[in-house]
Structure 1
Amino acid sequence: MSHYQLKDGVAVIVLDNPPVNALALALRLRLADAVHSALNDPEANAVVLTGAGRGFCGGGDITEFDLPALSQAPTLMALFSLIERSPKPVVAALHGNALGGGLELALACHARVAQSKTQVGLPEVHLGLVPGAGGTQRLPRLVGPELALNLVLQGRTCSAQSLSESGLFDRLTDAAPLDSAVQLARELAAEVARGRSLKRAGELTPKLPNAQAFFAYARATAKAQSRGLPAPVACVDCVEYSVTLPFQEGLDREFDTFWRLRGTPEFAGLRHAFLAERKASEVAGLPTEAKPRPVERTVVIGGGTMGSGIAMSLANAGLPVTMIEREQPALDRGLASVRDTYLGALKKGRLSEQQFEQRVALINGALDYEAVKEADLVIEAVFEDLDIKRQVFEQLDAAARPGALLATNTSMLDVNRIAAFTNRPEDVIGLHFFSPAHVMKLLEVVRGERTSPAVLATAMNLARRIGKTAVVSGVCEGFIGNRMLQPYLMQAGLLLDEGALPHQIDRAIEKWGMAMGPFRVSDMAGNDLGAKIREQRLAEQPDLVYSRSFDTIVAIGRSGQKVGRGWYDYVPGQRAPVPSEEVIAAVVAESERLGLKRRAISDEEIVDRLLLALVNEGAKILEEGIAQRASDVDVVYTAGYGFPRWRGGPMFEADQRGLGDVLATMQRFSDGPAYQRCADFWRPAGLLCRLAGQGQSFATFNHSELS
């Protein structure tokens, strides 16, 4: 777990706890022993701490955060104090990542040497926490309170090179940092021998003019932007302690704050979301011998909004892309869209000139399938029509080389049927990107019934390469995300019929935490697109009940944001949508047509009906084996559908609420207007009933138990 060796008078201690050298209890014990050994070794004049493998240290072990091990000796606070108070110089040699507790460990050392590309940061705020081992107290003393607050509050990672002038690092190197760190350790030891004091962060005094006004403004800003989450404001408080309190008192306040936040529901949800994303990359039943195929040359069929976004996702990872369209004007529009997007990023400072030129150069256009012949991966992103996709895949089957991956970006259609259009269904897979594809993190990887393990492994590897959060789904209408979205939208419409209005429904669910309510989402996606999906679903399932208000809105030309009129009016130059009197009149008229007396509907009922519609459909998806695990369903919704990350996801939220209460609430909703067929809609999934009856949760569910 840690290694100790003497190198010309310098004790080199190597952190070794794969994969990220997390500071779990076992590593803390070994590290404390190694530090004591160095301090007691008469031949060791200095100490260097470094990490084995790909990085220095990824921080605390999040899996221990609700276990007694978190507070067992040596705690991080005690260990870092031991290092900081060492009479012998301790130098951190950083490479790869130094995040969270890993950076806090480096801050406790007397000097830091970093490879210039090392990624550093204190991301605890993204878990609903503050740094809990001195980060908010030592960092301001080294780089100043303003920069420290920016790093802590945003929780962002950045390269060591970008902080070269901050005072955080004593030396930067393009090479491996160990030799430079050992040399610096020897120099510091010589200075100590001459009577010079070591630089201990805790002994420095941070200075900030007008500190009271600065922190008051920062606190107000954090409160306004955090939507009620406690961690951002707590981060401001803790950095302020570094300026206003003695070091040890600041440490104590920071730790108390960390411990308090660790018990909040926000931390529980964010921790679940973090661990769920890590778990989602593990594909159940994938043979170990299934190795990813190389992907270097790519083709995207279609240059529309989705196709150009997918092309940029690939180019952003350094992959050359050929974007194919049928006609020159469409291809020109697609390439212009790519260039304009990159140009906007350049103007905002998100890309350098070199990056701009490189990425634009990686994306080329074509009007034929010649590029398909040499491609390792082809992604189809054409109109959502099965006949059109048939034409595309028949051409791909004829043109693509053996072993090339043929992927469809369909959001609703049957991947197995699409695969059957080829003579190589084992090479066909669904890659459902979310729009805008170059921005959204979620990628649903849809495994067809004949998709080969090697193709699935290649898709998951590609997802990591292009920076996507991948979730494996089986084949069904809408896969995981869009299948669950349909009952959610159905309930939103039925709430309109009974007495709610679009802006009330959106406001209620957004106040609860969703990024956007169902009607704002519909306007953004296009209400005409929603109409096509409803038409397809009703053709196959005529018993489904949607509010006719959906079709009324489309019939009167309110297609959404793209035309400035949808469920809302969109005023040029005004960001907020405006409730529409025309829409309100149409909604009220539909209630009258149904013979319903409109009633007052509480925000609580709105949230419950929308949320539990998601939960029940998610339970059916799990029972059918479409999703591998409940946490995968949660990842789809937190990463792709605006579900509040701090609530963990719909299935986690149901567990927190209690499945018995979920069933009881659904039972209440099953008694409603006759035309809605409420008893059918709210009939609970068998899995939900079974888990509730056994006092279990979605978190404990394993699909193999059903077989």
Structure 2
Amino acid sequence: MGRTLRELVTCKTIGSVCLIEMDDGRDNRLSRSFCIALTDALKEAFADDAVRLVLLIGNRQGFSVGYALDEISNETAQNALFELVDSLADAPKPVVAAVRGNAFGAGFEIALLCAFRLASPTAQFGFPEVALSLPPGAGATQTLPRLLGASPALALLLDGITVSPDSLGAVVDAEINGDFRSGALRFAQAMAAENLEGVAMADRREGLENPMAFQTDLIAAREARSSDPSVSHDIIKAVECALLLPFHAGLAFEREQFKSSEARPESRGQRHLESQRRLRQRASLNAGLSGDGLERIGVLGQTETAFVIAARLLLCGANVTLFHSKDEAAEDVRFDILDAARSEAEIFGLNQTYERQVADQLTLSEQLEDCATVDMVLDCSDDGGDERERRAVALAGIVPDHASFVSITDQVEELDLTEAFGRVAQSATIWLPNPMLGQSCEFHISRTPDGDLNPVALVQTQALLERLRLFGVSVSQTAGLATTALFLSLLEAAEQIAIGGSAIDTIDRALRGFGVQQGPFELADRVGLDSIRLLMAQSPEKLQVNLPLTYALAKAGEVGLSSQAGFYLYEEDMIGRQNPEAKLELDALRSDAGVNASDEVIVERCLGSLANTGAMLLAEGIVSKPAELDILAVDHLGFKPQTGGPFHSADQHGLLGLRYQLSAGRSDQQPNSHFIDMIKNGMNFNALNAEADGVS
């Protein structure tokens, strides 16, 4: 249940200082209700004759992490934010922002509007939303240049970097060491006692004192950012307004740019994905995963997957026992894990003492009997299902009753470990094609005799994924099935468009133009046409698709990159070129010359096929909501984040139109009953997400 306005923001007058504490129980996102509560509190403080100064402070989690992404497209939420901005910009009394923890995005902007800023030494500041094509909308393009000048302000605004207080110069007026709340209050009381009013941000001019240098920095930024996304150019224009326009006129210009940028499809697509990832993180925190009981984790295997997973676990502070064969020297294994830890730390921007962590937290063992001391066993070997089940039988009498057995695999397969253990097994299968790529995976949890998900295995698996920094999609059937179904559906649509008259490279080019990193035929060559045949063999009947061109090429031994020939030919540079054999096979499948489809039709036919398959996966309960399929498609099928994923994009194109495009194809790819029912009932994928998230 959400907090009331009075619970979001509390006020307490101490002497002549009004202490306003922000606390939404999490990270103080600037939702509509939060902005209203804070604005009301400020107005009350400004109207109180006994108050000389306002001290604004966040909870122990931080100051504020900025926009509530799921609300920012709502006009009433925008207006609530803008009213808060105006209250601070026109404050009749000085406001002091006391920042500990994170001040990101609009949270940082709110602090910048205050007359003074205090910070703890560990505070962090930045504008991460620029990576979501979302520019500042709460004044930062006007406030930062006034304090720092053009070049330092643009570095913060354009790059989305996170910085500490000592990197911000005039932005931070003082650092508070020791007890932060008490220190900030003493600072505010001293200022109030001296009746210091501060300087309103509209009157700050330090960064604008040299207009020529300011303009020179703007010109340099435009040249350096000429190929950047449009949001960068919007920010540069708004920063120029800080020099050319009065403060409030600059705010108005920034506000209009924010509204325009926020409404762009690429920004809304990226925010859709980020909101869903944050929802999962919040759900994991609410589930209390820190008490998951995973004190020591055993990792089986000497594969790249095993080393990367062990490294990630070590970097997040877990104790790991890695089991290796007697043929491999322990020091060589230790070196490989240390090397993986260094690479992973660079990827995630971690500052760790690798050698000490590995030495203290890593244990190497050649004896499976040592699994008696672990709370979870991760089988990361490259063995097949039969060998994994044999090993599970061997471990059944060793692994403690409270421990879960998790199989991590890149194969679409499921292990029945209940029989292997001879008791109800707390087990899971995680489908992870490549731990070095993507940020999501599918997982399947074993069930109790009553048919329910095993609660211990579920909590421990979710905790494991949090530690591995993976977005886990829980599937009711075989792990890897959902992503496989989407890939096969996309490839089937592409083949049918090709058989209908379009060239292979034309189809790939159209989809790259829409927003995928590589077209379906390019992706198929990288997966391997022989591997695709294996995926088909592993998939249940309801997910079977018709891929005559894939089968014909695979039968001829042209299976993609590995054979340097598939849908394309590959030479030493590994750049795909037209494959005459693929064209011959395609011509043999065509009944006539057909029609060369437009790019728009190609995109809509492919989106229609994915929407059709997605509706079935949802109706069958294989996944719980479309947003999870969007994240899988971005991470594993190469859809760019700007698209928001295929199901977000399908809504933008209109499901009815996609259904008609699908019906215009061959009879074996007609809309299924689940997709038709969605459209008849006036539903779309966004509505299904809202329903799953409990949003009215």
Q: Give the TM bin, normalised by the shorter chain.
A: 0.7 to 0.9
**Match for residue 448 of structure 1?**
446
Aligned partners of 2:565 and 2:319: how far apart in 1?
39
Residue 184 (structure 2) aligns with: 181
Corresponding residue number in structure 2 for 1:614: 610
> Is this contact kept in 2: 1:497–1:547, CA < 8 A?
no
Q: 1 CA distance for matches of 2:224 and 2:597?
A: 33
Query: Deviation digits for residues 27-85 of structure 1, max 9, x if unmatched?
Result: 3344334334433445433221012352222324344434453255xx43443343344
Cα separation, 1, equivalents of 2:353 and 2:287:
40
1:57/1:300 CA distance change after superposition, 3 Å: same
Task: Give the corresponding residue for 2:61.
Answer: 54
- Partner amino acid, structure 2, of 1:184: F
Whether the 8 Å contact between 1:338 and 1:360 is mirrored in structure 2 is: no
What is the SS of the residue equivalent to 1:65? coil
Distance 1:54 1:392, change over 3 A: same
Q: Which residue of 1 aligns with 2:5?
A: none
* Counterpart amino acid of residue 406 in structure 1: F
Change (3 A) 1:44 1:281: closer
Q: Which amino acid aligns with 2:674?
A: L
- For each residue in 1:395-436, what CA deviation from the matched residue of structure 2 results, as whole angstroms up to 9, or x when unmatched? 33232111112112234444363454323444111233352x
Task: Please say if residues 393 and 418 of structure 1, whose CA atoms lie closer than 8 Å, have aligned partners that are also in contact.
Answer: yes
Give the corresponding residue for 2:577: 580
Counterpart in the other structure of 1:246: 246
| Mapped partners of 1:343, 1:607: distance in 2 | 41
Which residue is equivalent to 2:548? 547
Say if 1:520 and 1:542 are closer, same or farther in 2 by CA, change over 3 A: closer
Indicate if the aligned counterparts of 1:346 and 1:356 stay in contact, CA closer than 8 A.
no
TM alignment of 1:209-228, pairs within 5 A? 211-212=214-215, 214-216=217-219, 218-219=221-222, 222=225, 224-226=227-229
Query: Could you say if the C-alpha distance between residues 316 and 288 of structure 1 is closer, same or farther in structure 2, counting changes exceeding 3 Å?
Result: closer
Q: CA deviation at 1:14?
A: 0.8
Instruction: Name which of 628, 635, 638 aligns with 1:632.
Output: 628
In structure 2, stretches of 5+ residues that fail to align are 1-7
Match of 1:685 in 2: 672
Residue number in structure 1 paired with 2:490: 488
Q: Deviations over 1:553-582 (max 9, x none)?
A: 696576537x8776666777x6xx52235x
Cα-to-partner distance string for 1:256-303 (whole Å, 9 max, x where unaligned): 11122233333432333233334446889xx98999631121122223
Note if contact 1:553-1:567 (Cα within 8 Å) is conserved in structure 2: no
CA distance in 2, matches of 1:82, 1:272: 30
Amino acid at match of 1:324: F
- CA 1:541 to 1:48, structure 2 compared with 1: closer, same or farther past 3 Å? closer
- Counterparts of 1:704 and 1:170 in 2: how far apart (Å)? 42
Distance between the aligned counterparts of 1:476 and 1:430, measured in 2? 8
Partner residue in 1 for 2:313: 314
Asked whether the 8 Å contact 1:276–1:631 carries over to 2, the reply is yes
Following superposition, the deviation at residue 665 of structure 1 comes to 0.9
The one-letter code sitting in structure 2 at the alignment partner of 1:239 is V
Counterparts in 2 of 1:543 and 1:119: CA distance versus 1, 3 Å: closer
**C-alpha distance in 2, partners of 1:504/1:253?**
42
Q: Is the 1:622–1:629 Cα contact (8 Å) retained in structure 2?
A: yes
SS of the aligned residue for 1:130 comes to: coil
User: What is the match of residue 515 of structure 1?
Assistant: 517
Give, in whole Å, the separation in 2 of the partners of 1:181 and 1:203.
Answer: 23
Residue aligning to 1:463? 465
Does 1:560 pair with 2:556? Answer: no
Q: Secondary structure at the match of 2:61?
A: coil
2:484 is aligned with 1:476: no
Tell me the equivalent position of 1:590.
Answer: 585
Identity of aligned residues (%): 25
The residue identity in structure 2 corresponding to 1:453 is P
> What SS does the aligned partner of 2:19 have?
strand
Q: 1:339 to 1:586 in 2, by over 3 A?
A: farther
CA contact (8 A) 2:53 2:95 kept: yes
Aligned length: 678
Q: Confirm or deny: 8 A CA contact 1:266 1:646 kept in the other structure.
A: yes
In structure 2, do the counterparts of structure 1 residues 216 and 335 end up closer, same or farther at CA, with 3 Å as the change threshold? Answer: farther
For residue 699 of structure 1, the aligned residue among 679, 683, 686 is: 686
The one-character-per-residue Cα deviations of 1:350-398 (angstroms, maximum 9, x if unpaired) are 5557246535764554333244221112222233632122123223323
Cα 1:578–1:466 shift into 2, 3 Å? closer
How many angstroms does 1:325 deviate by?
3.7
TM-score under structure 1 length normalisation = 0.84
Cα distance change on mapping 1:527 and 1:430 into 2, 3 Å: same
| Residue matched to 1:172 | 175
The residue that corresponds to 1:261 in the other structure is 261
CA apart distance, 1:166? 3.6
- Contact 1:480–1:633 (Cα < 8 Å) also in 2: yes
AA aligned to 2:586 is S
Corresponding residue of 1:131:
136
Give the aligned residue type for 1:160.
Answer: S
Moved more, 605-614 or 360-369: 360-369
Question: 1:484–1:614: 8 Å Cα contact kept in structure 2?
Answer: yes
Unaligned runs of 5+ in 1: 671-678
Q: Do 2:39 and 2:83's aligned partners in 1 also have CA atoms closer than 8 Å? A: no
SS of the aligned residue for 2:63 comes to coil
Task: Find the residue that maps to 1:253 and give its secondary structure.
Answer: helix
Alignment of 1:422-433 (within 5 A): 422-433=421-432
Aligned to 1:236: 236
Change beyond 3 A, Cα 1:336–1:249: same
* Structure 2 residue aligned with 1:273: 273
**How many angstroms apart in 2 are the aligned matches of 1:360 and 1:440?**
29
Tell whether the 8 Å contact from 1:111 to 1:199 is kept in structure 2 after alignment.
Answer: no
Structure 2 partner of 1:92: 97
Give the Cα–Cα distance (whole angstroms) in 1 for the partners of residues 235 and 51 of structure 2. Answer: 38
Distance (Å, rounded) in 1 between the aligned partners of 2:124 and 2:506: 44
Deviates more, 1:216-225 or 1:4-13: 216-225
CA distance in 2, matches of 1:473, 1:333: 37
Q: Evaluate the alpha carbon distance shift between residue 182 and residue 636 of structure 1 in structure 2; reply closer, same or farther with a 3 A threshold.
A: same
Bigger drift between 268-277 and 335-344 goes to 335-344
Q: Alpha-carbon deviations, 1:129-181, whole Å to 9, x = none?
A: 2111101211232344333323322334x2535x5454332233454422222
Q: Tell me, in whole angstroms, the C-alpha distance in 2 between the residues paired with 1:289 and 1:336.
A: 34
